[in-house]
A = this chain, B = another copy of it.
Amino acid sequence: MSKFTIAIHGGAGTILKSMLTPELELSYHIGLQDALNAGYHILEKGGFSIDAVQAAVVSLENNILFNAGKGSVFTNKGIHEMDACLMEGKNLEAGSVAGVRSVKNPILLCSEIMQHSGHVLLSGQGAQDFAVLRGMELLPEDYFYSEFRYNQWQEIKDSELYLLDHKENAGGSDKKFGTVGAVALDVHGNVAAATSTGGMTNKRYGRLGDSCIVGIGNYANNKTCAVSCTGHGEFFIRSVVAYDVSCLMEYKGMNLKDACEKVVLDKLVKIEGEGGLIAVDTLGSYELCFNSEGMYRGAKTSDGINVVGIYK
């Protein structure tokens, strides 16, 4: 039987063992394992990678611990504006959503956009209108509420430094890039990638990051690999991160590991672009690569590998 593999992340940043209680650490492990299992379950039945990555991301979006869907961070106006992207390596089909509110699972909206809109990228109120048209579930603002994220926002919402990430505000002690993502290879040889996020706490001015952008925060191509990123979005955009990994493989002949390390541990480090990415190739290899203190991550393969990790 052909190989299959799924890898996931739940965000990267300054995640130190000293910052998590044993109970919270366990909750993260359970959340990551649940998401892995949700995707793996589809793959082992011969299902498609495009469905497996959605199942894994839905699981993470529904988990209040992660900054995507339920538990998304607060914008400067005290609301939740979410970005997501879904891409299929077989035919390079993609669907993305930017700055959408009220949609329970933005990654499922991406699937609707991919299949039914005739477009790739929808944004704002218009994207929500499209979700309604497609009969998707909308939820009141308080569904997305989490006390942890609310307190995080309260601490910085009146700051003059509102434009900056909480990284700068918290003096480096809370440098976290909350995003969730999944990449997978199925038995049919197809790769797929899914990424979803609530973005940056206290964000203003309709700021969009890399997560919703094909080729930047999320990319899949059966010729090379599938990639989902998490990190300081502005640096990831300027580096066109996900497609760069793919191009290094396709045009320079690098393998998955070398391509990921070139981008994350060399190119991004040089411009102080903190974060990481997960990737799979069509051979069944996976990479969980980051230049930050930690990344919530996991991988599960048909070869019997099952790993979940948080710290370096």
Q: Which residues of A line the B interface, CB within 8 A?
A: 92-94, 98-99, 117-127, 129-130, 163-164, 204-209, 213-216, 219, 233-234, 237-240, 243-244, 247-248, 251-252, 271
Contacts and interface: CB of A to CB of B under 8 A. Distances in A.
A127 B205 contact: yes
A205 B205 CA distance: 19
A238 B94 contact: yes
B238 A93 contact: yes
The prevalent SS among residues of A at the interface is mixed
Given A117-B163, A251-B248, A271-B92, A126 B214 contact: no
Contacts of A118: 163-164, 234
Contacts of A121: 207-209, 237
Contact of A122 (B117, B122, B205): B205
A123 B122 contact: no
Most chain B beta carbons < 10 A, residue from A94, A247, A271: A247
Contacts of A205: 117, 119, 122, 126-127, 129-130
Contact of A92 (B98, B129, B239, B243): B239
